[in-house]
């Protein structure tokens, strides 16, 4: 028995887009950043990102993770802020 073809119109405006939960869990930082409009300074000159791999003792990892959790941020956000405070450009 052939199925009936149903045509749907355009998605109503104001309806939020559907989010793939698995993709959000894996890439939530990139997805959140993509939804935020860049500031004029960021739009003018995007900075290259470099990866840093660091081996640390498990006890230090747990301490960092606990602090990040208590502050409601990711470990990456916490460590970037710390590094920026110490090594970032001085205004």
Decide which of 90 and 53 is more confident: 53
pLDDT at 61: 97
d(Cα 67, Cα 75) in Å, to the nearest integer?
8
The model's pLDDT over 65-76, given as tens digits with 9 standing for 90+, comes to: 999 999 999 999
Q: Give pTM, 2 decimals.
A: 0.47
pLDDT at 32: 65
**Other C-beta atoms lying within 10 Å of the C-beta of residue 79:** 15
The model's pLDDT over 13-53, given as tens digits with 9 standing for 90+, comes to: 555 566 677 776 777 777 666 666 666 655 677 888 899 99
pLDDT at 10: 62
């Amino acid at each position: 028995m052939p199925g009936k073809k149903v045509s749907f119109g355009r998605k109503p405006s104001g309806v939020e887009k559907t989010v793939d939960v698995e993709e959000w869990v894996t890439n939530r930082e990139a997805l959140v950043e993509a939804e935020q409009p860049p500031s004029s300074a960021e739009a003018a000159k995007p900075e290259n990102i470099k990866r840093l791999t660091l081996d640390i003792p498990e006890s230090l990892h747990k301490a960092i993770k606990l602090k990040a959790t208590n502050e409601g941020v990711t470990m990456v956000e916490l460590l970037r802020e710390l590094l920026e405070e110490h090594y970032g450009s001085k205004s």
